[in-house]
Amino acid sequence: MRLTTKGRYAVTAMLDLALHAKHGPVSLADISERQGISLSYLEQLFAKLRRSSLVSSVRGPGGGYQLSRGMETIQVAQVIDAVNESVDATRCQGLGDCHAGDTCLTHHLWCDLSQQIHEFLSGISLADLVKRRDVQEVAQRQDLRRVAGRTAQLDKIETSAVD
Let me know: does 3 contact 76? Beta carbons within 8 Å.
no
pLDDT confidence band for 150 (50 / 70 / 90): low
- Same domain, yes or no, for 87 and 101? yes
Strand ranges (DSSP E) for the chain?
A: 55-58, 64-67
pLDDT confidence band for 155 (50 / 70 / 90): low
Percent of the chain at pLDDT > 90 equals: 68
- Same domain, yes or no, for 158 and 80? no
- Same domain, yes or no, for 75 and 141? no
- Same domain, yes or no, for 59 and 104? yes
- Same domain, yes or no, for 62 and 140? no
Question: For residues 5 and 117, what is the distance between their CA atoms, to the nearest angstrom?
Answer: 17
- Same domain, yes or no, for 27 and 101? yes
- Same domain, yes or no, for 105 and 137? no
152 pLDDT higher than 70? no
Each residue's pLDDT tens digit, 4-15:
899 999 999 999
From residue 97, alpha-carbon distances to 84, 94, 104, 108 in Å are 21, 8, 8, 12
- Same domain, yes or no, for 43 and 32? yes
The enclosing domain of 66 has a CATH number of 1.10.10.10
Query: How buried is residue 91: exposed, middle or buried, by Cβ count under 10 Å (0-12/13-18/19+)?
Result: middle
1 pLDDT higher than 60? no
Each residue's pLDDT tens digit, 67-102:
999 999 999 999 999 998 878 888 888 788 888 888
pLDDT confidence band for 57 (50 / 70 / 90): very high
- Same domain, yes or no, for 96 and 154? no
Query: C-alpha dihedral over 143, 149, 153, 156, to 10 degrees?
Result: 140
Mean pLDDT of the chain: 90
27 pLDDT higher than 60? yes
Domain count along the chain: 2
Query: Residue 99, Cα to own-chain centre: how many angstroms?
Result: 34
Residue 94 lies in domain: 5-131
The model carries a pTM of 0.85
- Same domain, yes or no, for 79 and 147? no
Output the CA angle 2-8-122, nearest 5 degrees. 80
- Same domain, yes or no, for 39 and 109? yes
From residue 45, alpha-carbon distances to 1, 97, 115, 159 in Å are 22, 30, 24, 39
- Same domain, yes or no, for 20 and 67? yes
